[in-house]
A and B are shown apart, each in its own frame.
Chain A
Amino acid sequence: MKPPAFKYYAPSSVEEALALLAEHGYDAKILAGGQSLIPTMNFRLAQPGVLVDLNRVSELAFIRPADDGGLLIGAMTRHVQVETSDLVAQRLPLLHETMPFIAHPQIRNRGTYGGSISHADPAAELPAITVTHRGKIHLRSTRGSRWVDADDFFVGLFTTALEPDEMVVEIALPPLPPRTGWAFDEFSRRHGDFALVGVAAAVTLDPAGAVEDARLVFMGVGDRPMKGDTAVALLRGQVPSADLIEEAATRAAQEDIDPFGDVHASAAFRRHLAAVLAKRVLTRAVERANR
């Protein structure tokens, strides 16, 4: 239960960090909050030769208003800062509602937004929320800078669009449109444990009360955040009755996800939970959109 030896660097600027990544590439791992990486190293499941610790790169810890009414969140912003931010509560209520579900208080004091999405655990909350918000992720390397849509960023199990010499520097989360309701819920054995299944929803109604747009994103039931496109197609253009929401939730849980079974829950139980939770969050999102 002790990590293997590695070479440790603690740069104080993004430029310095990028130079280290350019030099060490495949051998290097970025140490952000360390709340997933360090346990993985303690188990020796990961044995990086070089760690580039971003905890002294203060320029990456920020929450700033964006011109579109959303927010820009720096990669090294800790969960506790997002959880307690008034800006987040005002502008991104879905994210605000989701933060307390992330692990435990001690973990939220260290864990970071950029670290969570770079780790890309399919059972984690922030990848799913970033996809639900149709966020964009700003990546940098010494070769340049690019923005990647959240949909294209998460490419598989613990796998992202990041190249070995790139790092996430910030995340842009646009606001949800007017007349949009939102909700997040998850089911775990104990509060703070990894959820068996989690679901985020956002529903936009037109002035007549029909669904103009909807988003439904599952976590824990596939190799990445899974989008409930079947449910969205059923809902769009319709007035969302209880029956229609139930049908949409059930169909999405049958067709849009790919749950696995393990010691914690069978694949069938996860599918069942996905349907129950999807119905619950869609119902709450519609209620909030009608308010």
Chain B
Amino acid sequence: MTDLHTIRVTVNGTTYERTVEARMLLSDFIRHELGLTGTHVGCEHGVCGACTVLFDGQPVRSCLMFAVQADGHEIMTVEGLAPEGEMHPLQEAFHEAHALQCGFCTPGFLMTLKPFVETHPNPTEEEIRKAISGNLCRCTGYQHIIEAVKLAIKKIHHTDA
């Protein structure tokens, strides 16, 4: 009982047309159909946050959506954060503040944080902790990630300082 659907999805500005099975998860579509393996798959039940992508600009867990639901929508993955060869201020900040070790969780953190840092010029530390509460990191103990968020916000909003 293969239920096939043809979908058109815009990912990182490029529109793709593919025929997918209804049961294909959006995370698998991004990785296996489009070959964008920057989106990582951890738990596949919505707990770890590694597969977070932007869906119409909002962070969502791509393992908790079907690809067929993305028909006509826009997705951004970690590959779309900055042009080839460049880094988004958030990525620079993660690098400079040592906010990653193994890096498995990093794409999920970056996609969760992109809208947050853009819309929060002066967050409290508690707000930052709440913003990343849906992403698990087993290496850093989170403190360096929080430092990176502060640094990224400085880069984005307070360049004169």
Task: Give the residues in chain A near B63, CB-CB below 8 Å.
Answer: 38, 42
Asked if A106 meets B130 with Cβ closer than 8 Å, knowing A5-B23, A39-B45, the reply is: no
B21 within 8 A of A: yes
A51 within 8 A of B: yes
Q: Residue of A at shortest CB range from B134?
A: A104
A264 within 8 A of B: no
Q: How large is the interface on B (under 10, 10 to 19, 20 to 34, 35 or more residues)?
A: 20 to 34
B139 within 8 A of A: no
Task: Judge whether A109 and B5 touch: CB under 8 Å.
Answer: no
Main secondary structure of the interface of B (DSSP, over half): mixed
Task: Give the residues in chain A near B58, CB-CB below 8 Å.
Answer: 80, 109
Task: Judge whether B46 and A192 touch: CB under 8 Å.
Answer: no
Partner of A191, one of B25, B28, B55, B130: B130
Listed residue (A5, A34, A35, A38) with the most chain B CB atoms within 10 angstroms of its CB: A38
> In whole angstroms, how far apart are the Cα atoms of A107 and B63 in the complex?
11
Asked if A106 meets B68 with Cβ closer than 8 Å, knowing A5-B22, A7-B1, A42-B44, the reply is: no
Main secondary structure of the interface of A (DSSP, over half): loop
Q: How large is the interface on A (under 10, 10 to 19, 20 to 34, 35 or more residues)?
A: 20 to 34
Task: Give the residues in chain B near A7, CB-CB below 8 Å.
Answer: 1, 3, 22
Task: Judge whether B3 and A192 touch: CB under 8 Å.
Answer: no
| CB neighbors of A among B21-40 (8 A) | 21-23, 25, 28
> In whole angstroms, how far apart are the Cα atoms of A106 and B27 in the complex?
14
B114 within 8 A of A: no
